[in-house]
Structure 1
Amino acid sequence: MNGAQLLPVFVVGLAGSIHCAGMCGGIVTALSTTARPHVLAYNAGRIGSYMLAGALAGGLAGGARSMASMAGVQLSFYWLANAMLIALGLYLMNAWRGLAVLEQGGRALWRHIAPAAKTFMPADTAAKAFALGTLWGWLPCGMVYSALATALLSGSAADGAAMMLAFGLGTLPMLIALGLLGARLQQAMQRRSVRIACGLLVLGFGVLGLARAAGGITPDWMDMLCLTPHQ
């Protein structure tokens, strides 16, 4: 896997992080009132959980492809990942809430994790903030599920973790800024114009990816705009 394949995942995380302002904004703002290094520890734990989930997705998908027609399974994953990006774009714009159904499904897992999260509150040490972030990384989130669909394309645990690292780093600027600016930035990110702009960007990645999968767009420079090169 090369950097060109990770760039679109990073940009999706960056654009989609307006959703993080609602999901994680409150806890990051609370941590910033305690000590700013705790915000970094929290995000390190959160991104670590993303990487673990990506490793699991990439490893499982790699095993599935070894037992089936590689070309056919890879193409199916590619269509799924780009369809999820389109769904995420619409979700960010509040135009379609289909990903909320996936979040509802994930809440069954979160019900078992949430009690453990309470034991680390208040997160008044870096260790507590890291542990809280590690647990918070499993919070049901349609945006994360969309990113995990791309990790299925990686074909290995290491590449799946790398994809989710790129995604997590894309979300980092927003959450660091939330720790510094708090509610002011959180309100700005919920403006309709901002959500539509970010949603269109993510949706555009998905549309280009599907067009490439269908054979309509094939230039090599599209590697910079699609999740993975079309095989």
Structure 2
Amino acid sequence: MEIGYLGAFLMGLFGALHCVGMCGSIMGVLTFSLPEEIRKDPLQLMGYLSYYSLGRILSYTLAGTLAGAFGAGLLFRISPQYGHTILLLMATILMIAVGLYLAGWFPAFAHIEKAGAPIWRKLEPIGRKLLPVSTPWQALLYGLIWGWLPCGLVYSALFIAIGQGGMMQGGLFMLLFGTGTLPAVMATGIFAEHVMRFSRNPKLRMIAGILLIVFALTGLIINW
């Protein structure tokens, strides 16, 4: 009754346009804040973008580890059978909501994503102090903070991570989810203007939203 690790990767991949919408502007700002000599050197630029993304994915992995520990230590001891079912339903509903939001059919979802705003308000000023980024370590630290940006897609993945059965499993699930988001976010860092324009295409967003909804429903049917 588990959404597997391949599912975690595909979830991140199918949610790519949501990632570009949420993280694209941040990645664009970070890219343009780098010294000109780094921006003009493809290898150096890729290195800094990789550090940003590594930090972000490490934060996802930490959150997944904590979520997995919570699930193993509390929720499933109380109700192993029904706890898993409830989490699966909640994750499915959240993924469908993200899909509807992407497709332009549920704009109110933007309010739901603000659930993590209190944490972000405390972390965001710390991130600002790291700008402009001039060293790989700064890029990594900024990525670690960036990983806590409120995001409905991440919340959906964390609900599933809770049900993975343990700390390691929850952490691995979120690691693979973060890896799935990597192509879109990295592309935004390199081709910021073009990718952002591409991501705003209504038809493309509708297709991506429908794919995410289909993935959510398929996961529910398979794992029910």
TM-score (norm. length: structure 1): 0.85
Q: CA offset at residue 18 of structure 1?
A: 1.0
Say whether the 8 Å CA contact 2:68–2:169 is kept in structure 1: yes
Residue 41 (str. 1) matches residue 51 (str. 2)? yes
Sort the Cα spacing of 1:75 and 1:151 in 2 relative to 1 into closer, same or farther, 3 A.
same
Residue 133 (str. 1) matches residue 143 (str. 2)? yes
Say whether the 8 Å CA contact 2:94–2:152 is kept in structure 1: no
* Letter paired with 1:145: Y
Say whether the 8 Å CA contact 2:17–2:199 is kept in structure 1: yes
Match of 1:69 in 2: 79
Q: Mind listing any 5+ residue stretches in structure 2 that lack a counterpart?
A: 39-44
Residue 22 (str. 1) matches residue 32 (str. 2)? no
How many equivalent residue pairs?
213
Match of 2:188 in 1: 178
Q: CA offset at residue 207 of structure 1?
A: 1.6
* Letter paired with 2:217: V
Q: Summarize deviations over 1:10-41 as a string: whole Å, max 9, x none.
A: 11211212122222223323444433111100
Match of 1:79, SS? helix
Map 1:79-94; keep pairs closer than 5 Å.
79-94=89-104
Sort the Cα spacing of 1:97 and 1:156 in 2 relative to 1 into closer, same or farther, 3 A.
farther
Bigger mean CA offset, 103-112 vs 93-102: 93-102
Match of 2:41 in 1: none
Give the superposed CA RMSD. Answer: 1.9
Residue 162 (str. 1) matches residue 172 (str. 2)? yes
Q: CA offset at residue 47 of structure 1?
A: 0.3
Sort the Cα spacing of 1:46 and 1:156 in 2 relative to 1 into closer, same or farther, 3 A.
same
Structure with higher helix content: 2
Say whether the 8 Å CA contact 2:76–2:83 is kept in structure 1: no
Match of 1:199 in 2: 209
Say whether the 8 Å CA contact 1:58–1:155 is kept in structure 2: yes
* Letter paired with 1:127: W
Match 1:107 to one of 112, 117, 124: 117
Residue 146 (str. 1) matches residue 156 (str. 2)? yes
* Letter paired with 2:163: L
Q: Taking every aligned residue pair, what percent have the same amino acid on both sides?
A: 36
CA distance in 1, matches of 2:194, 2:76: 50
Q: Mind listing any 5+ residue stretches in structure 1 that lack a counterpart?
A: 213-221, 223-228
* Letter paired with 1:82: T
CA distance in 2, matches of 1:145, 1:98: 16
